[in-house]
Structure 1
Amino acid sequence: MKSQPPGPGPATAAEEAVGAGTSAAPPSPLRGLAEPVRGRLALAVGLQAVAALAGVVPFIAVSRIAERLTEGSAAEGDALWPLVALACSAGFAALVCGTAAGALAHLADNDLQLTLRRRLARHIGRLPLGRLTDRGTGEVKQAVQDDVSALHTLFAHTLLDVVSVLTAPLLTLAYLFTVDWRLALISVAPLLLGVLLFGRAMAGAAAQMAEFGAATGRISAAAVEFASGIAVFKSFGRGHRAHERFVRATEGFADFFSGWVRSTLATSTAAILVVAPAVVLLLLAVPGAVFVTQGWMTGAALVPFLLLGPAVAAPMGVVGPRIQQIRAGQAAAVRVTALLDTPTLPEPTAPALPDGHHVRLRAVSFSYDGNTDVLSGVDLDLAPGTVTALVGPSGSGKSTLASLLPRFHDVTAGTVTLGGADLRDIPATELYRRVGFVLQDVRLLRAGVADNIRLGRPEATDEEVERCARAARIHDRITELPDGYATELGTAVTLSGGEAQRLSIARALLADAPVLVLDEATAYADPHSEALIQDALSALAAGRTLLVIAHRLSTVRSADRIVVLEDGRVTEQGRHDDLLAAGGRYTALWDAQRNADPDGADGVPDQRPTRAGADIREGSAR
């Protein structure tokens, strides 16, 4: 069972519920998101309030009937029928209004969900690709699915529940004061005592809730690590250690939550007990019996207190779960609003089209946080039909520099131009027709194989799709799938890493972008897959301008230009033989790889990666 943190006091619940559902100063993110359906939600709230009030009327009518019966008015049937009719009509009105309120709230929420998801989809589509990479798919999924669902719970369910538990007791208490003010005051006592006890139980709840969120976050992170890393641990004979962090996280959460519960158990239990219907009924029955025996009130006057008295303290019984739903909705609104407020990729005010495909970087600097430069003063030229390789130690800025070309990010200073036009002045649709990329981390859609290949050109014919698949050395594998090119990926059929990489190469071939960014597509491939991928890359490179991020230097020794990056700066550039002759940083990197793998996995003696690297260069020249 999922642990639920203790909720704050009922006063807080009332304030947050009113803030979430009425005009009494709701949080601005929640108000802003609900604005399109605010009128319908307000009407639903009004109908629910009428339903709650009407639901009390039958109990009042029954108490009045009991009073008349005890007064000896039973013979006068005509005097009772109006009360019976009132009870029936009020019950019917409560049913109709409650049903209408629920239907209206759900219809409004359905429209709101559709509107929010469309807004999120449009906005996410205009975010810089690097921003999406930084955020990861988890945050986007949470906003589009989980957070919108949390808002559904708030608007379609919790809002109406809060209105009911706050409205009905008000009418109940007002009526009870007209019957007997002394017993009415006694009926308020459990509510006041419950508020006091809950307030004491929730002292310091803000800090505890923060720790609760952090603890659950640690469990989630450890669970992901456990699931994704267990194979690595087992392969090194350390399977028993794979779950240690997860166990520590769960045990830490258990210790924290147990301590929190123990510290609040007595007061929170007492708060629940004092508002329990049986306790409230007993609390009213004892003094009520005394009042009747002493002649201070009639037996009929005691009936409404026995019927309605427990309802006065009823909100305390449901306040905890409602508060959690309100807070979850508020937090979801904040996250959704934050995502919608994320700056999008600026669209050019004066669009420009490239004249050719020559890429120039001039005095380029870039910073992720606005303070520390990851790149500084980079000047680079990528001539059409050439292969340029980026090499350097980890953290030198290779991936960052490559990400500027497809405009995953905008430069902090300097310019990146394509065909003489600044990338920031080229419309996104035009830019991605001219610049493509093949990354290590391949993303395939849950769709047919052909649809995955057609992603860049949806109008492509079946013949064109098959031609590109053949060139990418993936056609034979596709024909082995249950439905060939119509096979849906992501269900019962999955592709290996090398196969997915070749499928992405087929996608890039079909898109036919003249400028390509390659991020070491063979880094995690087995030897057989690597050979096929290198053949596919040779076909992909033909006649195109390539910018290649190289981790294994042997795969790019035939590149037209090798650029060495260190600490975000270009320290060397030239051809392989010239850089080796210079004896600088490139030579040190080359020697380090040779010494690390003298048998050829990453070094010179093995001819397979050398040939593959040459194939890319020769393919681009064909």
Structure 2
Amino acid sequence: MRKQGFNKEDKKFSKDGLVNLMEYLKRYNVFLIMALLFAIGGSAITVYSPDRLSEITDLITQGIMTGIDIDRIKEIGILLVGLYLISIILSYSQSFIMATITQKTTNKLRSDISNKINRLPLKYYDKNTVGDVLSRVTNDVDTIGQTLNQSMGNLVSGISLLIGSLFMMLKTNVTLTITAIVATLIGFGFMTIIVSKSQRYFERQQRLLGEINGHIEEVYTGHSVIKAYNAQEKTNKDFKELNNKLRDTGWKAQFISGLMMPLMTFVGNFGYVAVCVVGAMLAFNNKISFGVIVAFMMYIRFFTQPLGQLAQAATSLQSTSAASKRVFEFLEEEEMVDESNNTVSIDNVKGNVSFENVKFGYNEDKLIIKDFSVDIKAGQKVAIVGPTGAGKTTLVNLLMKFYDVNSGKIKIDDVAIQDLSREKVHDLFCMVLQDTWLFEGTIRDNITYNKEDVSESVIVSACKAVGIDHFIRTLPHGYDTVLDDNTNLSAGQKQLITIARAMVKDAPLLILDEATSSVDTRTEILIQEAMDKLSAGKTSFVIAHRLSTIKNADVILVMKDGDIIESGNHNELLKLNGFYAELYNSQFEKAS
């Protein structure tokens, strides 16, 4: 396996979520630069304005002593109005561009996550909850989007305003500037300490949010079971524990980071008072004019105002850093081997399948399939039986190439599936699982899933074969009925639709993993008859605990602890009076 990033290039992410996010934004560098220029331009105009206000103040002061130059004041006033209008345009342009970049970035992130989901191996989903993955797609990406849209522009504007006002302050008076800088450095020191303390709580907050999503998803899907076993109290207790942990972590994160805003406000006011005192002393000694003091009082406001913006942005960036870390951790997960360049294929598939000394374990140090070998002829109906944990479903997962074998080979028509791409292997099979899956769409769309140009007669024939056609026609819109939360289907009816889907695909090999476990005995007989028609001329694999359903199988493989201990047809295995006979007879002992 090799690792891939958010694109198909061999690129690894940094451990810092914000660094990864900046790398991700490079694709929009032109627009981002424009937004930054607009922000800097608007800040420059704002910083430039007090200098003009200082000139107005000095003119007014001189006017009090001599005479007011109304024309000059009018000229400067008009210039200020023009500058503020330009500032408005630049600020709007910055907001528009940042909103565009934000939506494109979050859209691309979600698209990359969606594509990543399809490239991840099944073992990832065996180890992670659905809710946690959903939290990365929704909560974490939304957090990134909100920060880009709300905080990045303010952050850039604040920094440029800070630098611009510092320049104008130095140009105006060095002594007052040093007074303001000393007061500000104290605030930056406190901000650094606070950020270092609160960051770990933001990371824990995002992780706990994912855990809560996973818990809620499990509770929602298993709601009927929870009710049936009166487990509401325990479920609520588990939720409260997670919720309380999230509350405590979120409170600590917000409380510690929330100290920055009032602290920066205090530092700003402290600097303002310091400048006023020092400025008054300089004015009293006739070293500066009254206009300089007025301008500098505005400069110190412009100088300290960004500190509050930086404090607020720092709080958002901490949450964004934690969210970005989770998103890019997911995007960096180990993927399945890229097989897009694999050109090996099987023409005119007959359906011969062979397992040659196959060994497999979900963990390399613990094998489930120890040394499995069998030859299956084209057109045979093969039943795989055995106790729970014997390796039946694992065998099918290997056959479908959902997992790769540790050693040995699986061949279809003498071609090893290791040499075939996963897509080509999947095209050879139609599959019906014990867990039904239907998406929100019409019944017709569910039956013809991912298969184009299917005629109405083929759909109806498949539904009639499984005995679901009459029920579908009783629905308000027949085959065009949309399956959603308002459509009540039994587990058996859902299973019948998935079986009809397999019939419509009409692949040369068929897999039925407990496909009749959710239907009644009469429907089971109908499905068996339909499957006999469907499997005619095809190689089919049937996994069943209900042994009465596989009496007519050509070959029955009896598995135990990952090995085949018996094989033969139903009558031959009963005559052996071995493990299969024990399993078969045990299903009727209680009934008799």
Structure 1 length normalisation: TM-score? 0.79
SS in 2 for 1:388: strand
Change (3 A) 1:468 1:298: same
The separation in 1 between residues aligned to 2:338 and 2:374, in whole angstroms, is: 24
Q: Deviation string for 1:231-256 (max 9, x for gaps)? A: 32332344333312112222344455
Change (3 A) 1:494 1:569: same
Provide the residue aligned with 1:224 in structure 2: 217
The one of 61, 76, 96 aligned to 2:52? 61
Structure 2: runs of 5 or more not aligned: 1-15
The one of 88, 92, 97 aligned to 2:85? 92
The separation in 2 between residues aligned to 1:529 and 1:80, in whole angstroms, is: 94
Provide the residue aligned with 1:83 in structure 2: 76
* Conservation of the 8 A alpha-carbon contact between 2:219 and 2:226: no
Alignment of 1:62-461 (within 5 A): 62-72=53-63, 75-112=68-105, 124-125=117-118, 141=134, 149-255=142-248, 264=256, 271-275=263-267, 281-282=272-273, 284-285=275-276, 288-289=279-280, 292=283, 295=286, 297-317=288-308, 318-324=312-318, 326-328=320-322, 330-331=324-325, 334-335=328-329, 337-338=331-332, 342-347=335-340, 349-354=342-347, 355-428=349-422, 430-461=424-455
Q: Pairwise CA RMSD of aligned residues?
A: 3.7
The separation in 1 between residues aligned to 2:323 and 2:70, in whole angstroms, is: 52
Structure 1: runs of 5 or more not aligned: 1-24, 600-604, 606-622
Give 1:288 shift. Answer: 4.5
* Conservation of the 8 A alpha-carbon contact between 2:59 and 2:69: no
Give 1:507 shift. Answer: 1.0
The separation in 2 between residues aligned to 1:307 and 1:111, in whole angstroms, is: 38
The separation in 2 between residues aligned to 1:531 and 1:158, in whole angstroms, is: 64
* Conservation of the 8 A alpha-carbon contact between 1:406 and 1:437: no
Between 1:372-381 and 1:487-496, the stretch displaced more is: 487-496
SS in 2 for 1:455: coil
Change (3 A) 1:502 1:93: same
The separation in 1 between residues aligned to 2:257 and 2:152, in whole angstroms, is: 28
The separation in 2 between residues aligned to 1:210 and 1:122, in whole angstroms, is: 25
Give 1:415 shift. Answer: 1.6
SS in 2 for 1:314: helix
The separation in 2 between residues aligned to 1:55 and 1:492, in whole angstroms, is: 58
Give 1:285 shift. Answer: 4.3
Change (3 A) 1:565 1:274: farther
Change (3 A) 1:213 1:64: same
* Conservation of the 8 A alpha-carbon contact between 1:473 and 1:535: no
Residue 538 of structure 2 corresponds to residue 547 of structure 1:
no
Which amino acid in the other structure matches residue 37 of structure 1? Y
The separation in 2 between residues aligned to 1:36 and 1:150, in whole angstroms, is: 20
The separation in 2 between residues aligned to 1:337 and 1:265, in whole angstroms, is: 28
Provide the residue aligned with 2:472 in structure 1: 478
SS in 2 for 1:390: strand
Provide the residue aligned with 1:564 in structure 2: 558
Residue 21 of structure 2 corresponds to residue 30 of structure 1:
yes
The separation in 1 between residues aligned to 2:237 and 2:116, in whole angstroms, is: 40
Q: Deviation string for 1:165-209 (max 9, x for gaps)? A: 211111112212333333333333453233333344445445444
* Conservation of the 8 A alpha-carbon contact between 1:360 and 1:381: yes
Change (3 A) 1:217 1:58: same
* Conservation of the 8 A alpha-carbon contact between 1:361 and 1:415: yes
* Conservation of the 8 A alpha-carbon contact between 1:456 and 1:507: no
Q: Deviation string for 1:198-237 (max 9, x for gaps)? A: 3444454454445434443443343334434443233234
Give 1:508 shift. Answer: 0.8
* Conservation of the 8 A alpha-carbon contact between 2:201 and 2:249: no
Give 1:394 shift. Answer: 3.0
Change (3 A) 1:229 1:128: closer
The separation in 1 between residues aligned to 2:52 and 2:41, in whole angstroms, is: 17
Identity of aligned residues (%): 24
The separation in 2 between residues aligned to 1:308 and 1:212, in whole angstroms, is: 39
Change (3 A) 1:259 1:82: closer
* Conservation of the 8 A alpha-carbon contact between 1:442 and 1:500: yes
Between 1:158-167 and 1:348-357, the stretch displaced more is: 348-357
The separation in 2 between residues aligned to 1:266 and 1:426, in whole angstroms, is: 57
Give 1:503 shift. Answer: 1.1
The separation in 2 between residues aligned to 1:74 and 1:137, in whole angstroms, is: 77
The separation in 2 between residues aligned to 1:121 and 1:213, in whole angstroms, is: 20
Change (3 A) 1:284 1:496: farther
The separation in 1 between residues aligned to 2:136 and 2:259, in whole angstroms, is: 36
Which amino acid in the other structure matches residue 415 of structure 2? A
The separation in 2 between residues aligned to 1:392 and 1:87, in whole angstroms, is: 86
Which amino acid in the other structure matches residue 195 of structure 1? F
Q: Deviation string for 1:90-124 (max 9, x for gaps)? A: 32332333333333344445555565566555565
SS in 2 for 1:68: helix
Give 1:154 shift. Answer: 5.0
The separation in 1 between residues aligned to 2:261 and 2:18, in whole angstroms, is: 31
* Conservation of the 8 A alpha-carbon contact between 2:547 and 2:584: yes
SS in 1 for 2:542: strand
Q: Deviation string for 1:436-465 (max 9, x for gaps)? A: 111122222322221121124210112222
* Conservation of the 8 A alpha-carbon contact between 1:130 and 1:403: no
Which amino acid in the other structure matches residue 473 of structure 1? G
Provide the residue aligned with 2:4 in structure 1: none
The separation in 2 between residues aligned to 1:35 and 1:89, in whole angstroms, is: 34
Q: Deviation string for 1:420-443 (max 9, x for gaps)? A: 222233455543332111112222
* Conservation of the 8 A alpha-carbon contact between 1:404 and 1:410: yes
Which amino acid in the other structure matches residue 39 of structure 1? V
Which amino acid in the other structure matches residue 305 of structure 1? F
Structure 2 length normalisation: TM-score? 0.83
Change (3 A) 1:502 1:312: same
The one of 537, 549, 573 aligned to 2:567? 573
Change (3 A) 1:288 1:585: farther
Between 1:234-243 and 1:577-586, the stretch displaced more is: 577-586
Q: Deviation string for 1:355-402 (max 9, x for gaps)? A: 411111112223445544332321123323322222333333222210
Which amino acid in the other structure matches residue 263 of structure 2? A
Residue 458 of structure 2 corresponds to residue 467 of structure 1:
no
* Higher RCO (CA < 8 A, seq sep 6+): 2
Which amino acid in the other structure matches residue 465 of structure 1? I
